[in-house]
Structure 1
Amino acid sequence: MPISRRKLLQGGAAAIGVAAAVPVGQHLMWGAKDFVRPGYSPDFPDAPPGEESWENWSGIERATPTDISYPETESMLADQIRGATGRVRPFGSGHSFTGLAPSEGLMVNVSSMSGLRAFNAQTGHAVFGAGTHLFDVAADLAAHGRALPNMPDIDVQTLAGCFSTATHGTGAQLTALHDYIAGFRLITASGDILDVTAASHADLFAAGKVSLGALGVITEYTLKTVPAFNLRRIVRALPVEEVLRDAEALADKHRNFEFYYFPTTGMAATITHDLHEGPVSGGLASAEDDDLLESLKALRDKFGWWPWLRQQVAQASFPKGVVEDVSDAAPKLLSTTRPHKFNETEYHIPRENGVQAVREVIKVLDGLKAGYFPMEVRFIAPDDAWLSPFEGGQRMSIAVHASADEPYDHFFKLVEPIYRAHGGRPHWGKLHTLGHADLTQLYPQFEAFRDLRRSLDPAGKFLNPHLAKIFGEPFDA
């Protein structure tokens, strides 16, 4: 049975005037929902009369394209791309914070090309439409007794969006999700359809696993899968210094390890997942006390101008030790929903520099009276995709968030310089300021990718302002 946390969550905060103790647990879910997400769709805004409109999940990226298309078949999409005289950009569920998707030309969505198309029980390979959401991938594979080796925190992304931005979970020996790709189908700027594998198109395969949507529109993926497995999750609330001291060892000890730091509190929560045999507890702990962000925001609002008092109240309010112990099917524990909208910056730091970078970011966040969103730290194994942030060695990922209705200029003024000083590479879907000159220094194959992009799309049909900046290309709308 899941451990009861009610008494642990009732601390001294109420006696000091805070509404409730700070809740920690349930994977820091920020508002939990069921594993199955029937009928999920992004909340796209209504367009003005006579116009199309698009915006991303957090609302900071917007576009008024000439058309938004949801082609029903691959051939229809190929015809649209072939016949387009302006720019074309693919978009998915809108969970990228950078300007990868917006276009004032044609925006295309492959959600009609979704679902499990084939499964080979001998190889374990599964073929999915590129518009399939991750939560549907997990459910479809579970029906065949299979799973992906790992999952990210959020599972509403489409496969195309997930892979194209190098979306990842956590685990020092676990690679990012694009490393599960065995092949894909790509529609190029000329409307040609290519079946791409490492054997058939070695360079295009290495580039296309993390493509930024810059090489064409991917319509289908063949994925490597593993037998379905269960995990046991343990969440512990600890002083952050203790977590930083043990972080490297914990990352090596556990299949999945990550931790959250709660700014100005001096407290952190570690989350470990390990393989579990036997019956599972199921039934995630009650969400009634998982109003983490609201509690942290209330703490900020009440004591923001007295950081020392804020820390004292928080430490009195936090539970100590184990606050959750549950077991279930891996996808049900690894992924959650995040209904509270936010903006985010995340860089992937060489592991040997990671703990020091975390310390420096903590110092910055503790100095911001307005901050309250947790900082997330994860570990990822290397892979060989050309534009993978994890190419060449293990990385520690450090993510800083801000509520969607609050400023985030500290991302660029204070946090990003720390990331860069420690050799960090930005998450392609999260906020950063880097351009072509910076990125060529960070990726050994960056110019090879740029040359390949030019050969496939010499007219720049798939460019937009953000990609033009990244690749150092001229751009006229």
Structure 2
Amino acid sequence: MKRRSFLQNLVLAGSAMALPVTQQAHAKPLPWRNWSGSQVCYPENRLAPTSVAELSQIIQATRGNIRAVGAGHSFSPLVPTNDTMITLSRLNGIVSVDQANTTATIWAGTRLGDIGEPLAAENQALQNMPDIDEQTLAGSLATATHGTGESLGCLSSFITSMQLVTSTGETLECSSTKNADVFQAAKVGLGSLGIVTQVTLQNQKPYRLKRETSWMSIEDILANTEQLASNNRNYEFYYIPFTGMGFIDVQNVTEEPVSVTEKIDQNDGANDLKTARDLLSWSSTLRELVLGTYIKTLPDEVTVAASWQNYASERNVRFNEMEYHLPRENLVPAFEEIRKLVETQFPRVFFPFEVRYVKQDDAWLSPFNGRETASIAVHRFFQEDHLPLFKAVEPIFRKYHGRPHWGKFNTMEAQDFAKHYEHWNDFKEVRRSLDPNGKFMNRYLKSLFTA
């Protein structure tokens, strides 16, 4: 009888699926949430085209707004829409390679973590990667996602050409010599110009990296940070609040054999910091003594691996994040102000601060346009209210002429961005010419580009 009931339920479910769309239209759309859960929307339609031609047809047939979604790793409200959400998850993988010029054309829906191995099989490697590789290629480029290294730009700086489907369904090829203005706008386009389908990246031959992580006092880190940035291919540092300690993470090209020392799991580490916070937040002095003493016992870590295996770390403990990109010379004073603020007013913060270096570029809306940059990121555990912390920290970022990461929390408005970006109005004009009716806009983007 149980089997018969099971069968009957299956039949009823199958019958419901066969109902005309008009009879199912009253069902409430399922929610979409970003990785941290801070952004939520209820898209009426969710579509996943399997070809550029199908994507073009969808765009032409859709009457409401369209937003493309990647992995949902952005914290800013770039994606939310209650109309149509499109994923390029079925458009993934390497399209072609040019061995003579060391470039590769890649589908925009490809996850960053799925590029390294197949690219290595083609005797190529990305020049740099961020520390999280779950994002899609298109989403990373749209927000100027970056790794670290004073001689290395954000991911968008490696684009040599790209393919874009516009609001009319037209497929547009863009490069520095073809539709050049669109190219300069679309390299960091926030998904507001159209939907990027393919990207050609300037790569290099495969290389091996030696990654070394060393614990130091924050005073020693800040005193040596400029020299460390200049002397290493990739360099960043993390500061653990209420400990007086941080660690530097440097990577350099090596011919040494693949090897790895015992490593601390970053997810376990975050949970341990949370536990210490919960038990010791009543005394910042004791908390610093306990954590600082423990950290001083931690050994250095060394990992030698293929570049694509060494860049990213697994992040399973969720958080919300604010990151601003500052003129490099403003890093230390801004960092010291933020540290003092957090350690005097926000005793429950336990996530590390993260500092990275990025080379300048020329993309119109790149936060790194025209200046050498140091970035500071602050985080808050996803189950805790992040807004008071970010509201307190953001004026310091802005005081030191910071530009926010496009995918992270910020409260800057159109007039604020216009002061930071020489080509702000040029971008708006290109956007308007490609999408005059605002098909690729949502409420947030309208607030930026229709004023």
Matches within 5 A, 1:46-125: 49-125=27-103
Deviations 1:335-380 (A, max 9, x none): 1221111100000000011111111111122121111000000000
Distance 2:382 2:330 in 1: 30
Alpha-carbon deviation of 1:469? 1.8
The alpha carbon displacement at 1:136 in A equals 1.0
Q: Aligned in 2, Cα 1:53/1:277: closer, same or farther, shift over 3 Å? A: same
- Cα deviation, 1:404-430, whole Å, max 9, x if unaligned, reads 101112343211000000000000000
Contact 1:345 1:399 in 2 (8 A): yes
Residue 313 of structure 1 pairs with residue 304 of structure 2: no
Equivalent position to 1:225, from 195, 203, 215: 203
CA drift of 1:288 comes to 6.1
Tell me whether 1:214 sits opposite 2:196 in the alignment.
no
Mapped to 1, the partners of 2:80 and 2:117 lie a distance apart of: 30
User: 1:429-473: CA deviations, max 9, x gaps?
Assistant: 000001101000011111110111111111111110111122244
Q: Which residue of 2 aligns with 1:21?
A: none
Deviation, 1:49, is: 4.6
3-state SS in 1 of match to 2:160: strand
TM-score, normalised by the number of residues in structure 1: 0.87
AA at the equivalent of 2:356: R
CA distances 1:112-158 after superposition (whole Å, capped 9, x unpaired): 11101111111111111100110111111111221111110000111
Q: Which residue of 2 aligns with 1:331?
A: 308
Paired AA for residue 95 in structure 1: H
Q: What's the secondary structure of 1:227's corresponding residue?
A: coil
Give the match's secondary structure for 1:402.
strand
Q: What secondary structure is seen at the aligned counterpart in 1 of 2:300?
A: strand
What pairs up with 1:202-351 in 2 under 5 angstroms?
Answer: 202-281=180-259, 283=260, 285-286=262-263, 291-319=268-296, 323-351=300-328
User: Contact (CA 8 Å) 2:215, 2:248: kept in 1 or not?
Assistant: yes
- Secondary structure at 2:406's aligned position in 1? coil
Aligned with 1:190 (options 149, 162, 168):
168
Aligned letter for 1:309? L
How many residue pairs match? The answer is 425
Once residues 470 and 326 of structure 1 are traced to their aligned partners in structure 2, the CA distance between those partners, rounded to angstroms, is 43
User: What is the TM-score normalised by the length of structure 2?
Assistant: 0.92
Q: Structure 2: where are the runs of 5+ without partners?
A: 1-25
Q: Which has the higher contact order (CA 8 A, sep 6+)?
A: 1
Q: 1:273 to 1:286 in 2, by over 3 A?
A: closer
The aligned residue for residue 362 of structure 1 is 339
Task: Give 1:34's aligned residue.
Answer: none
Q: Using the aligned pairs only, state the percent identity.
A: 39
Query: What amino acid does structure 2 have at the position aligned with 1:457?
Result: D
Contact 1:174–1:380 (CA under 8 A) maintained in structure 2: yes
Residue identity opposite 1:169 in structure 2: G
Larger Rg: 2
Larger fraction in helix: 2
CA distance in structure 2 between the aligned counterparts of 1:49 and 1:331, rounded to whole angstroms? 44
Cα pair distance change 1:393/1:156, threshold 3 Å: same
AA paired with 2:213?
V
Whether 2:407 is the aligned partner of 1:429: answer yes
C-alpha contact 2:261 2:302 (8 A) present in aligned 1:
no
- Between 1:287-296 and 1:131-140, the stretch displaced more is 287-296
- The change in CA–CA distance for 1:58 and 1:52 in structure 2 (over 3 A counts) is same
Distance in structure 2 (CA, Å) of the matches to 1:49 and 1:317: 54
Runs of 4 or more above 6 Å deviation: none
State the alpha-carbon separation in 2 of the partners of residues 357 and 289 from structure 1.
26
